[in-house]
Amino acid sequence: MWKIVLGALSASGVVGLAVLLNPLALFPAPSVSPLSVQAPASASGIVISEVAAPGAPAPTTPAPTTLVHLFEWTWADIATECETYLGPNGYRAVQISPPQEHIVLPDYGYPWWQRYQPVSYRLESRSGSRAALQDMIHRCRDAGVAVYADAVINHMAGFDSGVGSAGSRFTKYDYPGLYKPEDFNDCHQQVTDYDNAENVTQCELVGLADLNTGSAKVQATLVDYMSELVEMGVAGFRIDAAKHIRNEELGEILAQLRDRHPEVNLYIYQEVIDPGTEAIRKQDYYDSGNVLDFKYGRFVGLAFLGLEGQTLANLQTLGEGWGLAPSAQAVVFTDNHDKQRGHGGGGDYLTYKNGDLYALANVFMLAFPYGKPQVMSSFAFDNSEQGPPTYANGITQPVYQGEASNCFEAWVCEHRWPAIAGMVGFRNAVEPVAEVTDWWSNNANQIAFGRGNRGFVAINREAQPLTHRFQTQLPPGRYCNVAQGGLAANGKVCANDAEVILVNRAGQFTATLPAMSALAIHVEAKLTRLF
């Protein structure tokens, strides 16, 4: 149901000319083996110099390029994916689901959101045991992939009573051996007024037990939890529901954590949903780290969906002037696990269900020099509460069964879609050039732009083909279209049957892009021979 056929490039015999002839999916249909359609993996020979070799030290600096959220994957599957796909394809970091003990809700069908209702800070979750978590962190580190944990530190489980994934029993406001009623804020009512900062930070988000994060005891407990993860090798944290924690209190918690681990340059990015009209503002949290900029995905979605008069041409100026966080502060995304379900304020966000539109939007995000891009990797769902693929007893079904993966079926694996995976290598290759060059558009939904002498991308979101002579700053030569495949190991041919784009001595090439297609070329996917 996700098979959308898009164009592939076929080079003519004239230097500087390429014609899109043969159809190729930008993302695979469920029935196709991911091994036959995946974008360049380790066998492709794409070389990204920053990817750490096995045995490299743990990443301790912020990821300069792309991170991927493997939503609800098990620790064992993430470890395998780091080694076999993420590292070899240039993904710099992986965001994992909350690792702490969480409530278990069989009566609700084991929903995804049970992970966001902590019961204790024991590292036993639906994704696996503490030992499996430790093994995954080490294996991802050795593959050159930093691990960022989703830290749920605003609240505890909101049910009147229940049992956690490690067997711990609790009642609301009483979590044995951890928290008592005095450790929670006095407002035991739900958040109702987003124009009132006290209501947002001191009351209960959808009834979840709101921790008193100003308490020295609570802060120390949270720092101990996060410190254990740092000692295991976690290189950073997504702070869940940061908007619901006073910014000064969150700053105190993170300062204590950093003081305890001065040798680690922890990467922090915070969930602050800021539509620009409420009391809580994302800029209030810049001192603590980066923020997830929810406006970015909405603006990109509006342009690619053609809503509110927006076009791709308008995206040339996408930036702070649109109300976004400064690029250096922003983690950007086309969708995330909340937005693809209409949660977190809803909005016009593209998801895997939009097929080719979604792939093209991710091509834009990974090519455009704004923020740190996060790629979503989902499981298929029919309703917004549905949890990951599970057995009848609630155990998560694996992505990997032996050496074969179940990607493109119940596990969507957008991060493996050829157009998206190929653009991760593009992002790494063009990173030294921070600006857009050689912008071109038809003033509607056909655009192209360069990243200096490092790369060039063209996107046709319209219903008719685009034929154009593009001006780039690239050196002359033969380039692989990385929206289809990268450079093979021998450097002489393109992997995954990707066609060749011929750039002449003036930095020009002519190409025809079919409707709803893209091409991207960069210097790290340039063939070593001219003919």
List, by residue number, the catalytic residues.
Answer: 240, 271
Assigned token pair, 291: 């923020």
Task: Show the CA angle centred on residue 471, arms to residues 470 and 477, nearest 5°.
Answer: 90
What is the DSSP track for 7-68?
A: EEEEE-SSTTBEEEEEEEESS--TTS-HHHHPSP-GGGT---TTSPPTTPPPP-S--SS-EE
Measured CA to CA, the distance from residue 359 to residue 422 in angstroms comes to: 11
Element (H, E) at 202: helix 197-202
Give the DSSP per-residue string, 254-307: HHHHHHH-TT---EEEEE----SSSS--GGGGGGGSEEE-HHHHHHHHHHHHT-
> What are the C-alpha distances in Å from 343 to residues 85, 301, 307, 337?
30, 16, 20, 9
* Residue 157, amino acid: A
User: Nearest Cα to 363, choosing from 316, 290, 417?
Assistant: 417
How many whole angstroms separate alpha carbon 332 and alpha carbon 97?
Answer: 18
Please give the full DSSP string across 96-159, using - where no structure is assigned: E---S-BB--GGGTS-GGGGGSBS-S-S-BTTB-HHHHHHHHHHHHHTT-EEEEEE--SEE--S
